[in-house]
Amino acid sequence: MTPELEKNRIVPQLNTRWLGQHYTYFADVDSTNLAIRQTLDRDPLPAGSIYVTDFQSQGKGRLNRRWSAPRGSSLLFSILFQPDWPVEQHSWLTIIGALAVVEAIEQQTAVLVDIKWPNDLVVKIDGVWHKLAGILTEGMFSTAGFPGSIVLGIGLNVNIQMQEMPPGQTPATSLMALTGQKINRAALLIEILNRIEPRYETAAAGQSPIPQWQGRLITLGQPVRVTHIHSRKQIDGIAEGINQYGHLLVRDASNEVHTVTAGDVTLQTPV
Ligand code: BT5
């Protein structure tokens, strides 16, 4: 039987011009982000190329953390971009990915999803935030301040049963756990990809995705603790705002405002 996420089941239904048109499906792979990078080390790939899998043996989170999901249960994919914009702006891809996933879910199910800075899609269940999806954007930088290639990796828990939920600091949930129904992964992936291309083109033309994203961030206005990954230095303060690159602005007790970028911190939000 043809796997649900195999190329022939997806690409003919895309209404994109370039995104997802170069489509590679793996029954299993170490990590879709890693696999794109490894291919790029050998051969060129067109922008918009996507790698999709049913299982990752070394799924990656940020800061060397792991992303795990039972075989065939989820959406696990990575898309290659080659944007012609400054390096600082590469966080826009995480933002575009988050918005596309949130809207696709809302279009196909009744689940309302919030965003926790910088890269978590979360749902509140009985007063407790649960993680539904995570995004890992990795850049391979060229010289002259331009980012070269960037890989946007998305892991979305679709049909994971309660008893199979991956353990984590934030408890996990899935669309099936939330709706009580098995969700069509192919239809959801198509919807997400169809939403990413126009969002990316709008951003590439200079229109920021940040105002829309900001409206869905649960982090703003909240007390947060930021821990720098290398120095372990901590900042306690209030998450006051977002700058034009999506960095978090945290005001500490002495009124100093710190600009926090996603790459080198962990964030605790007591929500
Ligand atoms: C992320 O990292 O949330 C980014 C995850 C990106 C995964 C995708 S899958 C396709 C592509 N290929 C890859 O190899 N990666 C990308 P972070 O914020 O660091 O969160 C990681 C933490 O989430 C882990 O330490 C666990 O605690 C937790 N976790 C792991 N798997 C989970 C899951 N399925 N659902 C919810 N939480 C999970």
> What is the predicted pLDDT for the residue at 204?
95
CA distances from 184 to 41, 74, 101, 193, 205 (A): 34, 10, 14, 15, 33
For ligand 1, whether the C-beta of 131 sits within 6 Å is yes
Determine the pLDDT at residue 148: 82
pTM over 0.85: yes
Question: Residue 116: CB within 6 Å of ligand 1?
Answer: no
Least confident segment among 4-8, 98-102, 204-208, 222-226: 222-226
To which H or E segment does residue 118 belong?
none
Cα(174) to centroid(ligand 1), Å: 13
**Residue scoring higher pLDDT (43 or 100):** 100
Residues 6 or more apart in contact with residue 238 via CB below 8 angstroms: 221, 222, 223, 224, 250, 251
Q: How would residue 262 be classed by pLDDT, with cut points 50, 70 and 90? A: confident
Q: Whose CA is nearest to atom 25 of ligand 1?
A: 65
Cα–Cα nearest to 147, from 201, 195, 97, 93: 93
Whole-number pLDDT of residue 79? 98
Element (H, E) at 172: none
Strand arrangement, sheet containing 23-26: 23-26, 50-53, 74-81, 149-157, 128-140, 120-125, 114-116
pLDDT per residue as tens digits for the range 89-145: 889 999 999 999 999 999 999 899 999 998 999 999 999 999 999 999 998 755 455
- State both tokens at 46: 């067109």
Share of the chain above pLDDT 90, in %: 76
Q: Which of 26, 67, 73, 93 to mutate to test the pocket of ligand 1 (most atoms within 8 A of CB)?
A: 67
Cα of 79 to ligand 1 centre, how many Å?
Answer: 16
Question: What are 132-170's pLDDT values in tens digits?
Answer: 999 999 987 554 555 589 999 999 999 999 999 998 888
* Residue 135 Cβ contacting ligand 1 at under 6 Å: yes
Regarding predicted confidence, which is higher, 141 or 190?
A: 190
Residue type, 32: T
145-149, 204-208, 211-215, 250-254: least confidently modelled range: 145-149
**Are 158 and 151 within 8 A, CB to CB?**
no
Q: How far apart are CA 131 and CA 172, in angstroms?
A: 5
Higher pLDDT, 258 or 270: 258
**Under 8 Å CB-to-CB from 174, ≥6 apart: which residues?**
73, 74, 132, 157, 158, 159, 160, 161, 165
pLDDT score, position 125: 94
Identify whether the C-beta of residue 213 lies closer than 8 Å to the C-beta of residue 95.
Answer: yes
In this prediction, residue 59 carries a pLDDT of: 98
Q: Which residues contact 191 (CB under 8 A, 6 or more apart)?
A: 104, 107, 108
Cβ(51)–Cβ(78) under 8 Å? yes
